[in-house]
Amino acid sequence: MMQPPPLLDVRNLRTEFSSHRGAVRVLDDVSFSVRAGRIVGLVGESGSGKSMTALSLMGLVPSPPGKVTAESIQLSGNEMTRLSPDEMRSKRGRELSMVFQEPMTALNPVKTMVQQVGEPLAIHSNLGRREIREKVLRMFEMVGIPEPAARLDVYPHQLSGGLRQRAMIAMGLICEPKLLIADEPTTALDVTTQAQILRLMVGLRDRVGTAIVMITHDLGIIAEMCDEVNVMYAGQIVEQANVFDLFDRPSHPYTRGLLASIPKATEKRADGRLNSIKGIVPNLAKLPGGCRFNPRCGDAMAICRQQPPPLADVGGGHLARCWLHTKEGATA
């Protein structure tokens, strides 16, 4: 049977920043797709390019110094790379929207909750003030904000972190986008609130059918809620698989390292960092030759230091960017 085309299809997304020292490519040919109603994860250590991917797709990378290019970015069959910044802004908030990690920095401290959560509607719809208020109230109910009517006219600092994050999700969903990009939406929250918010998001997908790009450094969250996973390292996707295959047959040594470092609930570090892959994400201006992961890889062979590996199919559409899974690597 023919598969319907994906809701979002990203081909060879590249984002660069220029400075007096030259251009640094922070995203290098990132390609992935999201089918309607699916939850797709982007996972990787801090600095791997997850937020840049989100900002690039949202058209929120400041240019200059940033420059976003792509072979193609299709949303519901529409080519986004041909849109002007104005057209892009009109899609944003309506067809796709984003929830940020720290609501306190994303929310305006001097606007009331109803003003800002309702703002996308004020921009994208012709609803009046009273209708917008009504709709914000219904969204607050939907995202599980207790006593929602009492939260409409308060300021962000008057809400707890968990309620602010719920309000952010309400704002992201208020125009009923087909796709929500959530960038570490629970990283700043305690474990109980985190679990509630994740359940809320899965529930929204089940009831409303919103597709979600879930950005996290936490493979535990990926396991719990994602259908498909993209593992990012140093600006590239290094492994792409459905969630069962990824955990069943992690094929990139970096993914295996991430899996080995899943913290137990009792030893979660407050700064959200992972514990045990040795070494650090390389400086993108001084990438190692060959595979970007080779200096940290326990399985590195000679070829890994010489040539960058291709993103190769290791079976059934499961992709890994690693010489271990290629004929060339096997004979190296």
Contact residues toward ligand ADP (CB under 6 A) are 17, 26, 44, 46-52, 284
Which listed option, ligand ADP, Mg ion, none, makes contact with residue 52 (CB within 5 to 8 Å by class)? ligand ADP
Q: Give the whole-angstrom CA distance, residue 218 versus residue 50.
A: 12
* Closest to ligand ADP by CB, 150 or 285: 285
- Chain position whose Cβ is nearest to Mg ion: 51
Q: 318: which DSSP letter? A: -
51 is a contact residue toward Mg ion (CB under 5 A): yes
Instruction: Output the smallest distance, CB 17 to ligand ADP, in A.
Output: 4
Identify whether the C-beta of residue 282 lies closer than 8 Å to the C-beta of residue 19.
no
In the chain the beta strands, taken as DSSP E runs, fall at: 8-19, 22-34, 39-43, 66-75, 78-79, 96-99, 179-183, 211-216, 228-233, 236-242, 311-313, 319-321
* Closest to Mg ion by CB, 51 or 186: 51
Which two three-digit tokens encode residue 65? 């110094």
Q: Give the whole-angstrom CA distance, residue 287 versus residue 275.
A: 23
Identify whether the C-beta of residue 329 lies closer than 8 Å to the C-beta of residue 249.
no
Which listed option, ligand ADP, Mg ion, none, makes contact with residue 7 (CB within 5 to 8 Å by class)? none
* Closest to ligand ADP by CB, 123 or 280: 280
Task: From 153, 143, 146, select the one nearest 111 (Cα to Cα).
Answer: 153
Instruction: Output the smallest distance, CB 44 to Mg ion, in A.
Output: 9
* Closest to Mg ion by CB, 183 or 245: 183
* Closest to ligand ADP by CB, 259 or 285: 285
* 43-51, 66-74, 252-260, 290-298 -> range binding Mg ion (CB under 5 A): 43-51
Instruction: Output the smallest distance, CB 183 to ligand ADP, in A.
Output: 7
Which listed option, Mg ion, ligand ADP, none, makes contact with residue 294 (CB within 5 to 8 Å by class)? none
Q: Give the whole-angstrom CA distance, residue 213 versus residue 276.
A: 26
Task: From 30, 3, 31, 9, select the one nearest 75 (Cα to Cα).
Answer: 9
* Closest to Mg ion by CB, 48 or 116: 48
Residue recorded with tokens 């979600």: 212
Instruction: Output the smallest distance, CB 270 to ligand ADP, in A.
Output: 17
Instruction: Output the smallest distance, CB 267 to ligand ADP, in A.
Output: 21
Instruction: Output the smallest distance, CB 51 to ligand ADP, in A.
Output: 3
Instruction: Output the smallest distance, CB 229 to ligand ADP, in A.
Output: 15
Instruction: Output the smallest distance, CB 49 to ligand ADP, in A.
Output: 4
Q: Give the whole-angstrom CA distance, residue 101 versus residue 53.
A: 14
Return the sign of the alpha-carbon dihedral for residues 259, 48, 104, 117.
negative
56 is a contact residue toward Mg ion (CB under 5 A): no
- The separation between CA 234 and the C-alpha centre of its own chain, rounded to angstroms, equals 15
15 is a contact residue toward Mg ion (CB under 5 A): no
* Closest to ligand ADP by CB, 118 or 257: 257
Q: What is the C-alpha R_g of the chain?
A: 20
Which listed option, ligand ADP, Mg ion, none, makes contact with residue 58 (CB within 5 to 8 Å by class)? none
Task: Give me the residues that bind Mg ion (CB under 5 A), please.
Answer: 50-51
